[in-house]
Amino acid sequence: MEDWMDRVGMVLVWLILLLRCSHANDEGDALYALRTSLTDPNNFLQSWDKNLINPCTWFHVTCNPDSKVERIDLGNAGLSGTLVTDLGILTSLQYLELYENNLSGTIPSELGELTSLVSLDLYNNSLTGDIPDTLGKLKSLRYLRLNNNNLAGSIPQSLTDIGSLEVLDLSYNDLSGNIPIGGSFSKFTPLRQFSLFSVIRICATYFYNALSKHVQLDQLGSDRC
Q: pLDDT tens digits, residue range 65-120?
A: 999 999 999 999 999 999 999 999 999 999 999 999 999 999 999 999 999 999 99
User: Across-strand partners of 81?
Assistant: 38, 103
The pTM score is 0.78
| Rounded Cα gap, residues 57 and 189, in angstroms | 42
| Rounded Cα gap, residues 168 and 182, in angstroms | 15
| Rounded Cα gap, residues 26 and 138, in angstroms | 21
Q: What is the DSSP letter of 14?
A: H
Residue type, 84: V
Q: pLDDT tens digits, residue range 19-70?
A: 444 445 889 999 999 999 999 999 999 999 988 778 999 999 999 999 999 9
* pLDDT the model gives residue 142: 93
